[in-house]
Amino acid sequence: MNRTGIAAGVAAVAFGALLWSPAETVSATQAPDARVAYRIERDGQPVGSYAVRVYETAAGEDIDSQLTIATRVGPFKVRVTHESAEGWSNKGQLRRFASETDRNGDKLAVRALPAADGRLLVEAEGKATRADANILTNNFTQTGARFNGHAEKVALMDVLSGAIRPSTIVPRGRQQIACDLGTCEARRYDIVLDETGKVSHQLWLDADGVVVRMIANTRFGIAFTYVRDHFERRAA
């Protein structure tokens, strides 16, 4: 785990023929090679959870995840559930992606599959865009060589909406932080949106590139903090 457009009609044909569902990424008999669990906090209070499972394959990694958030924005209750499945190559490139999100009953699916030109075809809300295969997803389940201590330009895909935003990974050095193991030395990175210059995410990664802590800043001014509660890797 250390690891824009074309006609909607064309996209509908492509995705109708090759629809890949989250359930297909996981074998009913295969145990995951790694599990990571996070609690999600807002203003220091728990508001949800996030769980990730990693399956190593000959081609790379298959990853699935589930997220739940329940909070309030002013007088309104907000509940979000989300699940996704991802296939990554050994080179850390996204090969396929599928997610389903429910926001207070409004449902949205995102799909990404290889296009004939080697790029990815990303579909959401009946619209399709092409994206480079080295796209980075904003759930950061696969970090790979992207977070190598150097600033790097990336195309950041929102796993909830399918939106693709040009961004820059900015290294911020090493820090000692509280973690599920007590105290961890982590590498901190900021993800800066190129269009606005705002920080969309702050990440702290352990030596293996696994996210220990993450702050996701929403466009509504709300920040959600993901705190790793548990990490286990299957014995070889």
Q: Could you give the 3-state DSSP secondary structure of residue 142? A: coil
Strands 164-179 and 45-56: unpaired
Quick one: pLDDT band at residue 30, thresholds 50, 70, 90?
confident
Model confidence pLDDT, tens digit, residues 161-190:
999 999 999 999 999 998 887 888 999 999
Task: Give the mean pLDDT of the chain.
Answer: 85
Looking at residues 119-146, what average pLDDT do you find? Answer: 88
**What pLDDT is attached to residue 236?**
67
- Three-state secondary structure readout of 23-91: HHHCCCCCCCCEEEEEEEEECCEEEEEEEEEEEECCCEEEEEEEEEEEEEECCEEEEEEEEEEEEEECC
Q: Is the pLDDT of residue 147 over 60?
A: yes
**What pLDDT is attached to residue 88?**
93
Sorted by where each starts, the structural domains of the chain and their CATH numbers stand as 8-233 (2.50.20)
Global model pTM greater than 0.75? yes
**Quick one: 203 exposed, middle or buried, by C-beta within 10 A (0-12, 13-18, 19+)?**
buried
Considering only CA atoms, which of 133, 98, 88 is closest in space to residue 18?
A: 98
